[in-house]
Amino acid sequence: MKLFDFLKPKEAQKSTQAYLEIAEIKDSIVVMKDGSLRLIMLCSAVNFDLKTDEEQDILIGQYQNFLNSLEFPIQIVVQSRRIDLGSYLAKLKERLNQEENELLKAQMADYIDFLKELIAQANIMDKKFYVVVPYFPPLIKTPTSWEEVISGRPPKTLTSSEFDTFKRELIQKANIIASGLGSLGLRCIQLNTQELIELFYNIYNPELAAAEKLLPLEELKAEVVKKGEEKNA
């Protein structure tokens, strides 16, 4: 028996899109296949270790009060990503070629060499913090298993009126979260459509994202693969 003989033919022919729970990204909102919505905010951070013991106790108490005040679920995501200094080095080299002062030119060349050596020896990581705020419209059927997610059932289509109504309610929830985190000294910014696309692109294509940058939203043109469109040879 071969390694993949256990796969059913129809399962083997599924595209990658069938395994994603995301139906679309619209107006800075992630629309899931079950009709629920997600709003994602990028949050700042606080250096807890630099706080005094008293400040740490206050911060812990405020965070505890924030969690106890929640009346709906949220998801906190911490993402570590290698910093790409390629564009920064390119700008430095351009400035180096334009610099006429020989002393500054030598210092810039040394700085560029230092950055190259640093990148070669160590991975410089950037850590980002996200808060995902969900909204589940009434009477939707939430998948109870991963098999239901990839079963190929058609996504629930929201009307423009439904989407606008659900989006307003979702934003109200997000404002509550942003206000609560603001009391901790944290600032939250909602990701727009382009930023959401880049976020998921980096999550699902980490190696490719490091080598290939995503085009701006207006330049992205790709056909959507739908079930049943495959042509027989």
- Residue-wise pLDDT for 98-112, tens only, equals 888 889 889 999 999
76 and 144 assigned to the same domain: yes
In a domain, 25, yes or no: yes
88 and 74 assigned to the same domain: no
In a domain, 193, yes or no: yes
110 and 206 assigned to the same domain: no
Distance CA(225)–CA(215), nearest Å, equals 20
Beta-bridge mates of residue 221: none
Distance CA(126)–CA(123), nearest Å, equals 10
Please, is 74 exposed, middle or buried when counting C-beta atoms within 10 Å of its C-beta (0-12, 13-18, 19+)?
A: middle
- Which of 28-32, 78-82, 180-184 has the weakest average pLDDT? 78-82
Q: Which domain holds residue 97?
A: 84-123
97 and 61 assigned to the same domain: no
In a domain, 225, yes or no: no
Q: Is pLDDT larger for residue 83 or for residue 23?
A: 23
Q: How confident is the model at residue 7 (pLDDT cuts 50, 70, 90)?
A: very low
89 and 147 assigned to the same domain: no
Neighbours of 207 (CB within 10 A): 7
In a domain, 166, yes or no: yes
In a domain, 8, yes or no: no
pLDDT in tens, 132-169: 999 988 765 555 555 554 454 555 678 888 899 999 99
137, two tokens: 């419209």
In a domain, 12, yes or no: no
Q: Is pLDDT larger for residue 130 or for residue 201?
A: 130
196 and 89 assigned to the same domain: no
Domains: count for the chain: 2
Distance CA(122)–CA(233), nearest Å, equals 49
SS3 (DSSP) at 119: helix
Q: What is the separation of C-alpha 232 from the centre of its chain, rounded to a whole number of angstroms?
A: 36
